[in-house]
Chain A
Amino acid sequence: MTASTIPIAPAVPAAPGRRLPRAGLLIPAALAVLLVLVALAAPLLAPDDPAAGSLRDRLLDPGSPGHPLGTDGQGRDVLSRLIWGARPSLTGGLVPVAVAAVLGSALGIAAGLGGRVTEQGLLRTLDVLYAFPGLLLAIAVATVLEAGVGATVFSLSVVLTPVVTRVAYTEVQRIRSAEYLEAARVSGAGRTAIAVRQVLPVIAPVVLAYASSLIGLAIVYAAGLSFLGLGVAPPAAEWGAMLDESRPALLTHPWVAVLPALTILAVSVLFTVLGEALRRRVGTGEDAR
C-alpha cells in the first residue's frame, strides 16, 4: 500500500544543461517572507477592525470609499479580514508542516535504524494512515476536536507526518549500510548519537525541502477544514471561514467569495513554486508515493 492523496507533484524536470536561476528560488522565498510579515503586522496594516461590521455598509463593491476590496455580508471590511485572516491561515499551514518535519524525521530514523519490530510496526501503521484520502483523515480527526486553529494544526499534523516519515525512512534506508555509519558503530557510538550526528544531517536537506513543498497543500487543507466548519470557526477572520460565510451571497455578490478564494489560490501557488525550487536545489525530484 503506497498510495496517498497528498498530491505532491514531481518537480517539472529542468531542461538539460540549464540550471535553475537563483531568482527562481529567491523571488518566491522573498514573497513568502513578506506574507509572514504581513500576517505579523496585521494590526498595523489592516485599515479596519476585521470583526466590526455595519449593517448600513453591507456588500459594498470593491473600490468603495474606505473599503478598497468592498465589504462582506455583515458589512465588515474584506481587505482587513484578508490581512487578519493570514494569521490563522498561515498558522494552519506552517505549524503542521513543522510538526510533521520534526516528528517525521524522528519516526523515519527510528524505523530505518531500529529493530525489525519497530520498523514493521511503524510501516504498517503508516499504511493505515496512508489508506485514507488526506482530507478525509483530517476530517475524521478534526471531528473529534473542538473547532479552532488547534484542531486544524493537530489533524493536519496527523495527515502530514506519515508522508514525511515515508520520505525520511526512504532516505535512511539509502544510507543505512554506508561505511561511515559502520565506522561510527564500530567506534562505539550509541544509536541515538548515530541518529543525531550521522544520519540526521544527511537526510535533513531532503526532508526539509520535501516538507516545504507540503506547505501549499497544508494551507489549502487548513482553509478547507474551516470551510467545513471544523477548523477556525466564524466570526473569526480566516480565509476558509470567509469562503463559507460568503455562500449566501454567492450568486448576487460573487466577489465576496472570489477574493478569499483567489488569496488562497495565490498563496498556494507561491508555496508550491517555493517548495519545488527548494527541492530542485537539494536535488530530489522523486516522489514519496
Chain B
Amino acid sequence: MRRFLARRLILAVPTLLGVTLVVFATVALVPGDPVSTFLGPGAPEEARHQLSERLGLDRPLPLRYATWLGHALGGDLGVSISGQRPVTDFLFPALGQTLILTGAAFVLVLTGGVVLGALGALRPRGLPGRLSGAFSTLAVSAPQYSVALVLIAVFAVELRWLPAGGTHDVFGGGGALDLLRHLVLPAVAAALVPLGLTARVFRAALGSVLAGDLADSLRARGLSRPAVLLHCAHNAAPALLTIAGLQLAYLLEGVVFVETLFAWPGVGRLLYDALAARDLPLVQGGVLVVAAAFVGINILVDAAHAWIDPRVRS
C-alpha cells in the first residue's frame, strides 16, 4: 500500500509540472502587453522600460517560467491587477466558501446517487427503475447554469421559498440555519450532473453483482433480501467510490457557474469576476489551485480504491 501511494505521488509530479506549464503559457501567450495595462497607453518610455524590467518581462520565457514556478511553489501567486493585493488574499477565503458549497453538494451526490442507483438496480423494468433511469439521463445532461436559473426562477422568484443568492440574509441573517437555507439551491444545482452519473454507475455495478454468482449463493444460503442487498452493495462499493471521487472533482468546475449565478463568494465566482476584469494573475491563480486540487483528489480516490480493493495495488 505504501509503495502504491509512493508511486502514485511520484507519477503526479510530472503531471503537476505540465499543469503549471499550461497555466503559465496561457498568460505568457495572451495578446496585449501587461506593461500598457498597468501604466496606460501614454506612459513614457523610461517608465515602461523600468516596469518591464521589474516584472521580469525582458527575460527569456524559460527563465520567466522558472521564476514564476519558484514563487508559486512558495505560495506567491502574484498580485491581482484589479484588486492590487496578492492573489492568495482573494483565493484562500474563496476556497473556504467553495469547500462549503462542494461539500454540501457532495453529500447530495452520494445519497441521491446511491438511492437512485439502488432503485434502478433492484427494479430495472419496473416503474422505479424507469423513473430513475429517465431522471439520471436528464440530470447527466443538465448544464449547471440551466438548472441554477430554473431553480432561482421557481423557488426564489415565484414561490419565494428560498433565497436567490448570497450566503446569509442581509438583515437578521447569520447562523447555521440561515447558511443552510442559502446552500440548498446552489448545492442542488451543482450536484445534479454528478448525481446522475453516480446513480448510473452504481446502478450498473450493483445490477451486475445482483445478477452474479455471489447474489445467487447468498440467496441459496437463505439470507433475507435486505441482507443479500447489503452484501452486494458492499461489493459494488469500489465502483461507487471511484465515480464519486471523480464527481467531487467535477463539482469543482461546476461551481464557476453556480457560484456566479447564486452570488456565492467562492473560487468560481472569483474566477468569473477575474475573467470579466481580464485580471490574468487572478485567473491564473484560480485555475492553478483548482487544477492542483483536482490532481490531489484523483490521488486520494486512487488511494482509497487501492485500500478497498487489493487487486488495484499490484
* A residues lining the B interface (CB < 8 Å): 1, 3, 5, 7, 9-10, 12-13, 15-16, 124-125, 127-129, 131-137, 139-141, 143-144, 146, 216, 220, 223-224, 227-230, 240, 243, 246-247, 250-252, 254-255, 257-258, 261-262, 264-265, 268-269, 271-273, 276, 289
Contact = CB atoms under 8 A, between A and B. Distances in A.
B12 interface: yes
Contacts of A271: 141
A22 to B, nearest CB: 19
A247 B145 CA distance: 11
A5 B250 contact: yes
Contacts of A1: 11-12, 15, 295, 298
A12 B204 contact: yes
Given A3-B294, A131-B19, 11 more contacts: A3-B246, A5-B294, A15-B124, A16-B211, A132-B22, A133-B253, A135-B254, A143-B275, A220-B143, A262-B150, A265-B143
Contact of A143 (B30, B145, B147): B30
A273 B101 CA distance: 30
A257 B149 contact: yes
Nearest to B21: A128
Nearest to B14: A124
A133 B153 contact: no
Given A124-B14, A228-B256, A273-B137, A243 B250 contact: no
Contacts of A136: 253, 287, 290-291, 294
A136 to B, nearest CB: 5
Contact of A131 (B156, B291, B301): B291
Contacts of B120: 12
24 contacts: A1-B12, A1-B295, A1-B298, A3-B301, A5-B253, A9-B137, A9-B197, A10-B200, A124-B18, A136-B290, A140-B26, A143-B283, A229-B275, A229-B276, A230-B275, A250-B149, A250-B153, A250-B157, A254-B157, A257-B152, A257-B153, A258-B153, A264-B145, A269-B138
B140 interface: yes
Contacts of B14: 124, 127-128
Contacts of A273: 137
Given A136-B253, A143-B280, A143-B283, A268 B141 contact: yes
Given A139-B271, A268-B141, A9 B149 contact: no
B237 interface: no
Nearest to B153: A254
A260 to B, nearest CB: 8
Interface string B59-100: 000000000000000000000000000000000000000000
B273 to A, nearest CB: 11
Interface string B245-277: 010011011101100010000000001100110
Given A13-B207, A228-B275, A251-B164, A268 B287 contact: no
Contacts of A143: 26, 30, 275, 280, 283
Contacts of B23: 140
B186 interface: no
B19 A128 contact: yes
A225 to B, nearest CB: 10
A264 B143 contact: yes
B36 interface: no
B182 interface: no
A224 B294 contact: no
A173 B147 CA distance: 40
Nearest to A230: B275
A139 B287 contact: yes
Nearest to B12: A1
Contacts of A227: 145, 257
A282 B257 CA distance: 35
A132 B298 CA distance: 11
A254 to B, nearest CB: 3
Contact of B153 (A125, A135, A220, A255): A255
A189 B291 CA distance: 44
A271 B143 CA distance: 13
A127 B290 contact: no
Contacts of A5: 246, 249-250, 253, 294
A132 B18 CA distance: 10
B143 A224 contact: yes
Give the 6 A-B residue pairs with the shortest CB-CB distance, closest first. Answer: A128-B18, A254-B153, A133-B253, A261-B146, A272-B141, A135-B253
B291 A265 contact: no
B54 to A, nearest CB: 24
B204 A13 contact: yes
A264 B291 CA distance: 27
